[in-house]
Structure 1
């Protein structure tokens, strides 16, 4: 089953199969999916695992690489075909498009495949969004900013996970959405939401609003591992600044939906620079602040309630005497993760429904 779009209907069907509720076995119909599942490039050209979204494949490389004759190979959903053919040599000095056709020949999907050789954007105004779309319907907001070179940087969020339990919700009711009431213009609005009956059944009773550099790939076995934090960064970060306001929800609860007495929810804003290795291609919700590959961290000291816009300036500090190795930095061997969430304990499903964090006009300083 394709995890890139996992609807409530898919979940219910999947659960029914697990419980043995299927009525009778019929001959399997041709597959109706038209997705790229994986991408490979020969040699040591890529410095990160490819990032594949609904209509895009991002391939990370260093700026000095020759991209004029590359032949990526794709793994597709069962029976699907791709044009141009997998393994075709193409000039990736500019983005290239591919068309995937489903096995039943009824569905086509166009993917843009591009190499990313520049660092992430360093100014974040949260003015730009697009919708996650599927089947002609718009679901939730996706934020994006631009680098100084004009490259688009897409923010990750956990909205895809919320879609599983609340597929009929309007975009404004998802944990992460855009608000018109920013410090300047529009802003990011992150709200801790209830995931209802299905969420409680999976021991994930709430979804904290979050926004981060990286991607979200649903891991049903451990939802905290769904967040894949960080993207390549070849400079030394100095500080992260911006504006926020925060209203904590009324009742703090744990993963069992039990009230946590005498405590209030807190937000969190932080950034982590960490080394990427073959064994550790990314950090996730289980280790983003604790993994030994972390070299530097910047963090909001307290995420207490503040109903007025408040400026923050978070300096990066070295963790436990670790240091950045210049050769690794130049070669793109470090990831930078910038993370914001409406519930500090959201990865462990500790939070208060209704907690709302607004963030705007952020900037990353570096040398």
Structure 2
């Protein structure tokens, strides 16, 4: 997915009516971007994540890799690009800290790239009659193992232990150590590097613990813990307004050590439920959860419009119904309205469908502008830049964004990007190609609307940890003058499991690169009858 979609959209919102707004490209030669196109190191897990916008390369490596001595396997760049340091000169990288490479292209254009590595070290200690997962303090190299109160501390039986990289050797042999009336020390050694760990054993009441659920609109992830060796653990659940308990199908239950989880489907949105963990005849405490609403944004069909202060808005009014905005505020200075109401050409003949949004790429005075619509609001023009706020409060996690769009692209005939900005396309070859439209959605945990200010060089970072899920549609072919139904799958990040959403941004634009004053004058897009979907499986990444 393009990492700078919001950045590109901002430029499409900016139109000025003065000579100061005319951005001139004073570079007389084609811009050749310095890019890393392929990267691999020894011990790498999966593919490298290469972000050409942020100029970063991120890799995950196995726990056996010494981050200070990572062997470089593959480093590829386009022709006529050189790197400092050169990959030919650095066969071993020190990735214990992010490492920078300066890429230079003709004629003397420089791009700084940052390469970083992450490493996950799995540690575990498993014993008989264990009642909770072992707690590790990696900084002080300490571990606490929890056993039931009827398990004597002088006769502990350790069944599994891993304290260091895969393949490391632990001494003494943990299967021979049983007396934990006082802490015991174990040394883990790998490649002649050793660490000493101190292990405590604590006795606690053997109980089944029902943990908080992660409830979506029509399903919920259930969690709990059981003592080690518990027989066939599972979950029972009911609606809060019912006395009838049901059991989660055992095929949906996963047991890992003392942790138990399950996916409960077929729930109703906005409904309170109760559940508890069980094993044999024992049960844990009851825990309640409420599913998210299967919420829709206001005016997702783009049926309500108003004109305020000479500017056309896709809202019933600019007060309590102010949800959507566009670049019309900036384009008005050039006497244009790229985003407007359409009442004749609609996606469906449904009684409630009275309007659609018409988005056209236009030449407004001295600059090109692509018609767009987004949930959020246009702040203000500031010099040659603008301040725009993306996203509206939204506390549900949809799985899809569906709707209809019609698109008639024309050939890209306006290529006037600003100087000093890295472009996501080849300026020397993009003219003559087909224009392309773009629809995308972000589900986030932002504290408020995301403020973007191009004057301050503040842009949306798709790698922001508060971005929970995203999805997009790009079309350069067109729909043949008709509406086409679409469904965008929203992919959620595994790293943000259990994080509740707070804001959502939905955006549509007629020319993907209009923010770079690049596109086809006359490219025409219509969008109609957008809606979120909540039924199905989560796509994790």
TM-score (norm 2): 0.38
Alignment of 1:97-246 (within 5 A): 121=297, 124-133=300-309, 139-144=310-315, 152-164=321-333, 166=334, 169=335, 173-180=336-343, 181-184=345-348, 185-197=354-366, 205-223=367-385, 225-246=386-407
Structure 2 portions without partners, runs of 5+? 1-13, 22-294, 349-353, 419-426, 536-541
Separation in 1 of the partners of 2:410 and 2:388?
23
How far apart are residue 358 of structure 1 and its match? 0.3
- Alignment partners' CA distance in 2, 1:234 and 1:160: 29
Larger Rg computed on CA atoms:
2
1:311 lines up with 2:482 in the alignment: no
1:73 paired residue number: none
DSSP-derived class of the 2:431 partner: coil
Counterpart in the other structure of 2:431: 261
- Find the counterpart in structure 2 of residue 271 from structure 1: 441
Show the counterpart of 1:341. 509
What is the alpha-carbon distance in structure 2 between the residues aligned to residue 324 and residue 347 of structure 1?
Answer: 33
Q: Distance in 2 between matches of 1:235 and 1:358?
A: 26
* Structure 1, unaligned runs of 5 or more: 1-5, 16-118, 134-138, 198-204
Provide Cα deviations, 1:151-207, integer angstroms capped at 9, x if missing partner. 62431111001112x2xx4xxx5110011211133210001111223xxxxxxx211
Counterpart of 1:72 in structure 2 is none
1:353 to 521, 528, 539: 521
Query: Deviation digits for residues 194-253 of structure 1, max 9, x if unmatched?
Result: 1223xxxxxxx2111010000001233453x53321011111121110011101133332
User: Larger RCO: Structure 1 or Structure 2 (Cα < 8 Å, ≥ 6 residues apart)?
Assistant: 1
| Alpha-carbon offset, residue 315 of structure 1 | 1.2
The equivalent residue for 1:110 is none
**In 2, are the aligned partners of 1:162 and 1:195 still within 8 Å (CA)?**
yes
Q: Distance in 2 between matches of 1:163 and 1:344?
A: 21
Count of residues paired in the alignment: 228
Using the alignment, how far apart are the partners of 1:242 and 1:213 within structure 2?
Answer: 16
Q: Which residue of 2 aligns with 1:107?
A: none
CA separation in 2, counterparts of 1:177 and 1:313? 24
| 123 and 143 in structure 1: CA distance in 2 versus 1, 3 angstrom threshold | closer
**1-structure distance, mates of 2:301, 2:380:** 27
CA drift at 1:289: 6.5
Measured in 2, the distance between the counterparts of 1:7 and 1:242 equals: 29
Shift of the 123–174 alpha-carbon distance from structure 1 to 2, 3 Å rule, reads: closer
Secondary structure class of the residue paired with 2:380 = coil
Which residue in the other structure is 1:59 paired with?
A: none
**2:299, 2:329 → 1: CA distance?**
25
8 Å Cα contact 1:252/1:264 also seen in 2: no
TM-score scaled by length of structure 1: 0.54
Output the aligned Cα RMSD: 3.4
Q: Which structure: greater strand fraction?
A: 2
Q: Secondary structure at the match of 1:271?
A: strand
- Matched with 1:89 is none
- Residues 1:284 and 1:263: Cα distance change in structure 2 (over 3 Å): farther
Q: For each residue in 1:44-103, what CA deviation from the matched residue of structure 2 results, as whole angstroms up to 9, or x when unmatched? A: xxxxxxxxxxxxxxxxxxxxxxxxxxxxxxxxxxxxxxxxxxxxxxxxxxxxxxxxxxxx
Alignment check: 8 A CA contact 2:15 2:369 kept = no
Inter-CA distance 269–256: structure 2 relative to 1 (3 Å threshold): closer
* Cα offsets for 1:261-295 (capped at 9, x unmatched): 341110001101123248x8445787447342322
Closer/same/farther in 2, CA of residues 159 and 351 from structure 1, 3 Å limit: same
